[in-house]
Amino acid sequence: MAWRIEKRAAGHGAAPWWTLPASFAMALAVGALIFALLGHNPVAAYGAMARGAVGSFYHFSEVLVRAIPLMLTGLAVALAATMLLWNIGCEGQLVWGGIAAAGVGLFVAPHLPEVLVLPAVILAGAAGGALWALIPAVLKAYLAVNEILSSLLLNYIAIIFMEHLYFGPWRNPEGFGFPGTAQIDEVARLPHWGATRVHLGLGLALVLALLLFGALRRTPWGYRVRVIGHNPQAARYAGFRLRRHVIGVMLLSGALAGLAGMAEVSGIHFRLQQGLAVGYGYDGIIVAWLARLNPLAVPFTALLLGALIVGGEQLQSSLHLPSSISMVLEAVLLFGLLLSEALARYRLVRRASAQPLRRQGEPTPP
């Protein structure tokens, strides 16, 4: 037994550089295999995807449109995960952001001066998401309820409640029976960039990414969040109030996801209707992990995922492949990243006899 695989002694510092390229390579390879199994030339299929995503200005603007909610939910997941909180509830928080934005746009806006309408809609979106996130936050902080389950299950409640609104009390009376609310006024909509569907939400998301990056690295609050994420025991030792931070971080995370819902309502659909909850909340998890939870990297990974989604839709029209192929690729990308990060924790050693001094969860050698 000359060689053996051993766990690295310390998991400190960044994962090696090669994990991201390795996961891309793996995703491409698995995708190619799937294309081949479906009877298509992988090169042609990837070419069609690439053309679909960046082949023209219009196509690229559609990638940006998809990237906006992905950036916001990606930031939401990244912030929570920095403190070891798993906010799987971004989808529900997004929905509540949309409900609140639509509600203010429909029912409050007529009573407000015009300049205040859009700020009110944006704030309502953030507040809607934050309040929905408050439920798992309080359950976690005071009753130690696992936030993964509570936030996930609340997604379904949020979606059903939204459907109730646009099928029922908020349904547009002049909508010829279509499920959906009336359109919000022009003043309650996010301004658009030229003739595209790209809206102000893009600027908002980019500014928030910068702010979050700065806040996590340069403020005492961000420092505490990072320390709690790395080592809750040390945080308790230092006297940080863990409950308060759990609630604060979940509120902010929910607000970010709520803004994504607001952006979809106020920037794209202009009403509450089917097609708001299409999985951006869950995609945010992938965006955040590909970005290694770094807020500055989130816009780029959101673009990447946006391109994957738009490119996948093109496959449907040009090669008549199911568009769900892009979801498969997303999943393989994430698995590849997790796998290569897990592999990076091991190394090949020759006749190792040295053991790490202490490993968590093991009896301590004297």
Partner 1 sequence: MTSSPPAVLELSGITKHFGDITANRAIDWSLNAGRIYALLGENGAGKSTLMSILAGRYQPDAGTIRRQGRTVRFQSPAQALAAGIGMVYQRFMLVAPLSVAENIRLHGAAGRSRSDRQGASIRELAVRYGLAVDPDALVQDLSMGERQRVEILKLLNRRADILIFDEPTAVLTHTEIAGLFEVFQRLRDEGKTIVFITHKLEEVMAVADEIAVMRRGRMVARLAAADVRSQHDLARLMVGREIILNVDKPPAAPGETVLAVSGLSGPAGSSRPGFEEIAFEVRRGEILAIIGVAGNGQEDLAAGLAGLTPLKTGRLTFKGRRWRAPQWGRKPHEGIAYIPADRDRTASVGAIDLVENFMLTQLAVFSRALRLDRRRAAAATAAAVERFAIRGGGLKAPAGNLSGGNLQKLVLARELARHPDLLLAEQPTQGLDVRATEAVWQALLHQRAASAVLLITGDLKEALSLADRIAVIFRGRILDTIAARDSAAIDRIKLLMAGLETG
User: What residues line the site for partner 1 (CB under 8 A)?
Assistant: 1, 10-13, 218-224, 226-227, 230-231, 233-234, 236-239, 353-355, 357-358, 360, 363, 365-366
Q: What is the closest distance, in whole angstroms, from the C-beta atom of residue 80 to partner 1 in the complex?
A: 18
Minimum CB distance to partner 1 smaller for 100 or for 249? 249
Minimum gap (Å) between residue 126 Cβ and partner 1: 20
Complex with partner 1: residue 15 or 327, whichever CB lies closer? 15
Nearer to partner 1, 49 or 291 (CB): 291
> Cβ of residue 12: shortest distance to partner 1, in angstroms?
4
Q: Are strands 3-7 and 346-350 parallel, antiparallel or unpaired?
A: antiparallel
* Residue number with CB closer to partner 1 (146 or 231): 231
Write down the least CB distance from residue 127 to partner 1, Å. Answer: 22
Smallest gap from residue 165 Cβ to partner 1 (A): 39
* Encoded tokens for 229: 């994420």
225 vs 291 by CB, closer to partner 1: 225
Our CB check for partner 1 shows the closer of 54 and 215 to be 215
Give the other-Cβ count within 10 Å of 353's Cβ. Answer: 5
Q: Are 299 and 71 in contact (CB under 8 A)?
A: yes
Q: Which residue number, 1 or 37, has a Cβ lying nearer to partner 1? A: 1
Q: Which is nearer to partner 1, 197 or 226 (CB)?
A: 226
| Distance of closest approach, residue 103 Cβ to partner 1, in angstroms | 32
Query: Exposure of 364 by Cβ count < 10 A (0-12 exposed, 13-18 middle, 19+ buried)?
Result: exposed
Residue 353 CB, shortest distance to partner 1, in Å, is 5
Burial class (CB in 10 A: 0-12, 13-18, 19+), 348: exposed
CA 355 to each of CA 9, 362, 363: distance values in angstroms, whole numbers, following the listed order: 8, 12, 13
For tokens 């976690």, what's the residue?
Answer: 140
| Residues ≥6 apart with Cβ < 8 Å to 262 | 97, 98, 100, 101, 121, 122, 124, 125, 126, 128, 201
CA-to-CA separations, 212 to 39, 105, 129, 182, in angstroms, rounded: 45, 27, 17, 35
Between 115 and 233, CB nearer to partner 1: 233
Q: How far is the CB of 95 from partner 1 (least distance, A)?
A: 32
Q: State the burial class of residue 264 (Cβ atoms within 10 Å of its Cβ: 0-12, 13-18, 19+).
A: buried
Is 161 in contact with 276 (CB distance < 8 Å)?
no
Closest contact distance (angstroms) between CB of 13 and partner 1 is 5
